[in-house]
Amino acid sequence: MDTIRYTLAVAGKELQVMFKDRGALAVLFLLPLLLASLLGTMFQSFGVMGDGEATAVSLDIFLINEDDGPYAAQIVTALETIDALNIERLDSVTEADERIADAQALAAVIIPAGFSQRVDAYEPVQLQVIVDPAQEIAASIVSGILRQVAGEVEVVGEISYGIRAVLAESGALASAPPEMQRAIEAQTLGVIMTQLQEMRQNPVITVRSEELAGAVATEPVNPFGYVVPNFAVMFSFFLVGVISATLLREKEEGSFRRLLAAPLPPAAIIAGKMLAYMLIVVLQVGVLFGVAGAAFDMPLGQSPSGLLLLTLALALAASALGMLLAAVVKTSGQADSLGTIIAFVLAGLGGAIVAFPAGSFMDKVTLFTPHGHALRGFYGLLNDGLGVVDVLPQVGAVAGFAAVFFLAAMWRFKFE
């Protein structure tokens, strides 16, 4: 009982010191949350991954309509019915140019004066698109949408011009009043467009796609279900440098010697320090997952116990590696620098920075890091609905790394 009490006392002291270091807290909590939010939101915005409506592309554009004819009105109506476009109407091209320069929109669509008249006369006419050069991909999407919409209007213009040309050449309506000529042209256009629409809805040749027999359709995944675990695992190991530097700094300042002189078993000192940093990792993962679940609808899976077990194994591995680093380096400065390097290297090799194709050589390399096993476990729990039994191999693998790190640390660690 005394050992447990001493362990908790050491852990409490370590937590108090840690929570006074605002810089370290920002790196461990705010930075991964910020990066995960930005990256996950970017994936959602461009529909890379997602869950239905949350992944719909939303592009902000300006619209300046300088023409009051029917063809311009058709283009405006068509653009405003496209959910992917968030349209704001402006009165001048100058205002649109200035606001795009201030990055207030991706592009501006300009319908020039006389547009409908020129389409009606079957004369060449141009729609203008002002784009933000820093957003080339999104601007090209806007241009492509506009070409599609303009193409539909062009078809109507071509048919109208063709009707007038045929009627004029035949002379059938030469003696008819202008009002009757326009009425017959409009009626003929309506019949043709109705028939064309019917042909589009019921084409002679159709292409039918079917799902593979026995295949189960899957819902699109939420990108945060992959981005957040990556940053959670990566930044958990940023504690490696903090643990080792703190421990060595205590040795350098003599406070560690005073702890040994106190009626504290050495095992309680080590256990208390590791317990404190394990709690920080658990809190770190809990904050990231909790915020992502509440703010971005990240799935949290069906197994809280599985998440807890995997998080505890991850926390143990990070803490044990921190102790190992403290046992092999000589100064707190070295520990701090090497800890950061180790965190980045392991994150890269473990697939927390860049995802490697399944079955590739680098994908197999990830299995030689605790990161690779932890990420596989988190992905399965959050995105695939796996249970605690399903992720026991990953929990065991991460705990195995922790055991190796801890045994090596205790073999090399010097209490003097």
List the domain range (segments joined by +) for residue 190. 59-196
Residues 254-280 have pLDDT tens digits of 776 666 666 667 777 888 888 999 999
211 assigned to some structural domain: no
Pair (159, 10) in one structural domain: no
207 assigned to some structural domain: no
Pair (40, 82) in one structural domain: no
Q: What is the residue-wise DSSP string for 201-263?
A: HS-SS-----PPTT----PPPPTHHHHHHHHHHHHHTTHHHHHHHHHHHHHHHTHHHHHHHSS
Pair (360, 238) in one structural domain: yes
State the chain's mean pLDDT as an integer: 80
Looking at the 3D structure of the chain, how many domains does it have?
2
Last residue of a domain, one of 145, 178, 196: 196
Pair (335, 266) in one structural domain: yes
Residues 169-182 have pLDDT tens digits of 666 666 667 776 66
Residues 144-171 have pLDDT tens digits of 888 877 776 776 666 666 666 766 766 6
Would the pLDDT of 401 be above 80?
A: yes
SS3 107: strand
Residues 226-243 have pLDDT tens digits of 889 999 999 999 889 888
Rg (CA), the chain: 33
Would the pLDDT of 376 be above 70?
A: yes
pLDDT band at 130 (very low <50, low <70, confident <90, very high): confident
212 assigned to some structural domain: no
Pair (93, 189) in one structural domain: yes
Amino acid sitting at position 260: L
Q: What is the CATH number for 191?
A: 3.40.190
Q: Which of 117-121, 255-259, 286-290, 296-300 has the highest mean pLDDT?
A: 286-290
Report yes or no: 383 and 225 within 8 Å, Cβ to Cβ. yes
Q: Can you give the pTM of this predicted structure?
A: 0.60
Tokens, residue 177: 């009043």
209 assigned to some structural domain: no
Give me the pLDDT at residue 50, please.
43
Pair (280, 377) in one structural domain: yes
Tokens, residue 10: 């050491």
Report yes or no: 276 and 15 within 8 Å, Cβ to Cβ. yes
362 assigned to some structural domain: yes
Pair (368, 240) in one structural domain: yes
Residues 28-56 have pLDDT tens digits of 788 888 887 777 776 665 554 444 444 44
Pair (301, 180) in one structural domain: no
Pair (342, 232) in one structural domain: yes
Pair (40, 71) in one structural domain: no
Tokens, residue 293: 């679940």
DSSP character for 389?
Answer: T
262 assigned to some structural domain: yes
b or e along 256-294 (b: 16 or more beta carbons within 10 Å of the residue's beta carbon)?
beebeeeebeeebbbbbbbbbbbbbbbebbebbbebbbe
pLDDT band at 211 (very low <50, low <70, confident <90, very high): low
Give me the pLDDT at residue 175, please.
66
218 assigned to some structural domain: no
Pair (98, 45) in one structural domain: no
Give me the pLDDT at residue 374, please.
96
- Lowest-confidence pick of 204-208, 296-300, 320-324: 204-208
153 assigned to some structural domain: yes
Pair (230, 359) in one structural domain: yes
